[in-house]
Amino acid sequence: MIDPETARQQLADGSLRPYELDELVGHEAATTIRREHYEATLGVSLDTIGEYTLSAEQAQSNIENMVGAVQIPLGLAGPLTVDGEHAFGSYHLPLATTEGALVASVNRGCRLLEAGGGVTVRITDAKMTRAPVFRLPGVEAATDTIAWLLEHEATVIEAAEETTNHGEVLAIDPYVVGDNFFLRFAFDTKDAMGMNMVTVATRAACQLIEAETDAELVALSGNLCTDKKPAAINAVEGRGYTVTAEATLSDDILEEVLGVPATALAEVNTRKNLIGSAKAGSLGFNAQVANVVAAMFLATGQDEAQVVEGSNAITTVDVRDNGVYVSVTLASLELGTVGGGTKLGTQAEALDLLGVAGGGDPPGTNAKALAEIVASASLAGELSLLGALGSRHLAEAHERLGR
Enumerate the active-site residues: 99, 303, 398
- One-character DSSP codes across 229-250: S--HHHHHH--EEEEEEEEEEE
How does strand 240-250 pair with strand 119-130? antiparallel
The total of other beta-carbon atoms located within 10 Å of residue 51's CB is 10
For residues 202 and 80, what is the distance between their CA atoms, to the nearest angstrom?
A: 39
At CB < 8 A and 24+ separation, what contacts does 157-166 make?
A: 157/205, 159/204, 159/205, 159/207, 159/208, 160/185, 160/187, 160/201, 160/202, 160/204, 160/205, 161/201, 162/204, 163/200, 163/201, 163/203, 163/204, 164/197, 164/200, 164/201, 166/190, 166/192, 166/197, 166/363
Measured at the alpha carbon of residue 79, what is the angle toward residues 73 and 80, in degrees to the nearest 5? Answer: 110
Amino acid making up residue 273? N
Cα atoms in the 13 Å half-sphere on the side-chain side of 307? 16
Give Cα separations from 391 to 10, 49, 263 (angstroms).
63, 41, 12
